[in-house]
Amino acid sequence: MNRTMAVMMCGLIFICGVVTAQGADYDHEIEQKGTTFAWKIDGDTLHAKVSAKTKGWVAVGFNPSKKMQDANFILGYVKDGEVTVVDHFGDKATSHSSDEELGGTSDVTVVGGSEEGGVTTIEFTIPMDSGDKYDSVLSKDGDTVVLFAYGPDRDSFKPRHKNRAEVTVNLGSGAVK
């Protein structure tokens, strides 16, 4: 290998290492019923990662008023290496719809995702306050009810959840109630 190629390879290895380190840089992490949620607040942005042992979809929801009602949901799956993530709103106690279908906006940004060893992981960012009436305002200092769910081994949002959980957490401190 000539000197130019060696320098390029070292640069590529360094860049890949930096990208991996950025994706794994979260301040807090909790596990509930087989779902792991990790997050970091950076100014007015929530950086998050959700993982579960499934080859289907994973999801996290914030601040429901009753069951799923009024929650801001982020759902995602990975199929053939392509990450699909959507922004939904709990329009009823037991259902949710796309923010865009309801007249709102999709306020989620996909950062990455993977499906390895039977575990699906999605990484994304959302604003703490998007201004969309179909997204709840997230507080750094107060309590946030967080819903977790994952579906069966199918890359589609149609199947109902296989497992779900709920926890109250302070997003700023990571304290779980």
Residue 142, Cβ density class (10 Å: 0-12 exposed, 13-18 middle, ≥19 buried): exposed
Residue 21 above 70 pLDDT?
no
pLDDT for the residue numbered 85 = 97
pLDDT for the residue numbered 3 = 44
Residue 18 above 50 pLDDT?
no
Higher pLDDT, 16 or 56: 56
Average pLDDT, the chain: 87
14: enclosing H helix or E strand: helix 3-23
∠ CA 51-79-123, nearest 5°, is 35
Structure tokens at 163: 């497992």
pLDDT tens readout for residues 144-173 = 999 999 999 888 778 777 889 999 999 999
Hey, what domains does the chain have and what are their CATH numbers? Answer: 28-170 (2.60.40.1210)
pLDDT for the residue numbered 163 = 85
Q: Taking the model in full, what pTM does it have?
A: 0.84
pLDDT for the residue numbered 161 = 79
Percentage of the chain exceeding pLDDT 70: 86
pLDDT for the residue numbered 157 = 77
Residue 15 above 70 pLDDT?
no
Rounded mean pLDDT, 66-84: 96
pLDDT for the residue numbered 79 = 95
